[in-house]
Amino acid sequence: MRAHFQRFAAYNAWANARLYEAAARLTDEEWHRDTGAFFTSLAGTLNHLLVADRIWMRRLTGEGETHTKLTDLPFPDFAALRAVRETMDAHIIAFVDGLDAASFDEDVHYSNTRGEPHHLPRGLILAHLFNHQTHHRGQAHHILSQLGHEPPPLDLLYFALPAA
């Protein structure tokens, strides 16, 4: 199971890097443009992903930034968000690399953003984190298309093929 999550952590960083490379071509106006997306703009969508990752990684490690709202926009500036995203992706990879096989089945106790207590196996939380990333990268992909920019292929298959 460890190798499975290591692969997804690496894929996650790869897909984010490709998405941010495409987003780097946007003007500031396009970056913040309301496209009718769930989190309004590409800036809102990609900030949401970072905020959600910060929340989950704090729950998993007990360390890191605290957010109480999934709509926080801590990095309206693209370059700043990109740098923090790269650091977060490296942090996720290092975290997964540091887990042993038994860790994935251990329950993690946490409170949600409303303060309600929950617990889930660490492996399920990581699966959710990576699935959540994929979901919103799909939205970001659509936003790039709406703005007239060519979105990159992000399928897991494209990540896996060179290594196969």
Domain ranges of the chain: 2-163
Strands 107-111 and 117-121, sheet pairing: antiparallel
In this prediction, residue 89 carries a pLDDT of 99
Residue 40 CA to residue 33 CA, distance in Å, equals 8
Question: pLDDT band at 66, cuts 50/70/90?
Answer: confident
In this prediction, residue 99 carries a pLDDT of 98
Q: What is the pLDDT of residues 86-130, one digit of tens each?
A: 999 999 999 999 999 999 999 999 999 999 999 999 999 999 999
Sequence-separated (6 or more) residues with CB below 8 Å from residue 53? 88, 92, 129, 133
Residue 42 CA to residue 9 CA, distance in Å, equals 22
What radius of gyration, in Å, describes the C-alpha atoms of the chain? 16
The topology under which CATH files domain 2-163 is: Four Helix Bundle (Hemerythrin (Met), subunit A) (1.20.120)
Average confidence score pLDDT of the chain:
96
Give the chain's length: 164
Q: What is the pTM of this model?
A: 0.95
